[in-house]
């Protein structure tokens, strides 16, 4: 068994399923992370403004977070931050298909299609295309995760609203998720921001209460073959 986690930006993988990645890795599952977007360049005053020093540090943080979580490997791509809608969907699909052909995962975790962030929406759509159930395909299960400060900030106005049907107990790996998120110095925020340690613990506790455990991450089931 191997798992591929697809994220639009550095930190989405931790926010959405960091605890699940750590739990799977501890159980001996090979978990691969693909981050499609370069990250943070949309914060520039102009699209061509250089962010190379900040990007280098952000990507270093991504590798540190992946190591903390126990990921088998991390693949960094260079799609334009918060501008995935300017890229042909087919080009995003091909990036994901190439990874799937290379890694042969049976399970894929990806962004939620109803998020506020446009890159998340494009990633979700591209993942569905890349994992379509064709003959000989390895992917049997596809799940989407929530990202604090994007999923809830759509306020259910964009379909599909996030309505989880699957929960993973991360009671034993919540601390490492928080630690991994804190490696992202440019992305972490103080309370009460959704990406603060306090808010992430509260979200995990709330999802845990829905599932009858101390802490959990929640997912929608896109498709699942048993």
CB 10 within 8 A of CB 58: yes
Question: Strands, E, within the chain: which ranges?
Answer: 2-7, 30-37, 73-79, 107-110, 141-145, 166-169, 216-224
- Percent helix, strand and coil across the chain, each rounded to 5? 40, 20, 40
More confident residue, 185 or 16: 16
Which pLDDT belongs to residue 83? 95
Task: Quickly state the pLDDT bin for 43 (edges 50, 70, 90).
Answer: low
Q: How far apart are CA 19 and CA 128, in angstroms?
A: 23
Domain 2-224 has CATH 3.40.120.10: no
pLDDT at residue 20 is higher than 70: yes
Mean pLDDT computed over 120-138: 96
Average pLDDT of the chain is: 94
In sequence order, the 6+-apart residues with CB closer than 8 A to the CB of 46 are none
Domain residue extents for the chain? 2-224
What is the arrangement of strands in the sheet containing 30-37, beginning at the earlier edge strand?
73-79, 30-37, 2-7, 107-110, 141-145, 216-224, 166-169
CA 8 from centroid of its chain's CA atoms: 7
- pLDDT tens sequence across 147-176: 999 999 999 999 999 999 999 999 999 999
Strands 166-169 and 141-145: unpaired
Contact present, 89 and 50 (Cβ < 8 Å)? no
Residue in the block written with tokens 């790996």: 173
Q: Over the stretch 81-102, which tens digit does the pLDDT of each residue have?
A: 999 999 999 999 999 999 999 9
What is the rounded distance in angstroms from the CA atom of residue 185 to the CA atom of residue 181?
Answer: 8
Report yes or no: 23 and 176 within 8 Å, Cβ to Cβ: no
Q: Render pLDDT for 217-226 as a digit per residue (tens, 0 to 9).
A: 999 999 999 8
């Amino acid at each position: 068994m191997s798992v591929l986690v697809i994220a639009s930006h550095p930190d989405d993988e931790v926010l959405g399923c960091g605890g699940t990645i750590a739990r799977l890795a501890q159980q001996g599952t090979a978990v691969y992370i693909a981050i499609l977007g370069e990250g943070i360049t949309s914060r520039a005053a102009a699209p061509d403004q250089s962010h190379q020093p900040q990007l280098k540090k952000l990507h270093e943080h991504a590798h540190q977070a992946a190591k903390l979580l126990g990921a088998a490997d991390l693949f960094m791509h260079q799609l334009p931050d918060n501008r995935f809608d300017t890229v042909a969907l087919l080009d995003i699909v091909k990036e994901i298909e190439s990874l799937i052909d290379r890694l042969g995962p049976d399970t894929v975790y990806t962004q939620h299609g109803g998020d506020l962030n446009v890159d998340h929406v494009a990633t979700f759509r591209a993942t569905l295309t890349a994992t379509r159930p064709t003959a000989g395909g390895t992917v049997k299960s596809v799940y989407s995760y929530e990202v604090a400060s994007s999923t809830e900030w759509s306020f259910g106005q964009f379909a599909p609203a996030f309505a989880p049907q699957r929960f993973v107990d991360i009671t034993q790996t919540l601390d490492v998720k928080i630690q991994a998120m804190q490696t992202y110095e440019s992305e972490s925020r103080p309370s009460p921001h959704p990406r603060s340690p306090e808010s992430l613990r509260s979200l995990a506790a709330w999802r845990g209460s829905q599932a009858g455990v101390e802490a959990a991450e929640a997912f929608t089931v896109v498709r699942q073959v048993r």
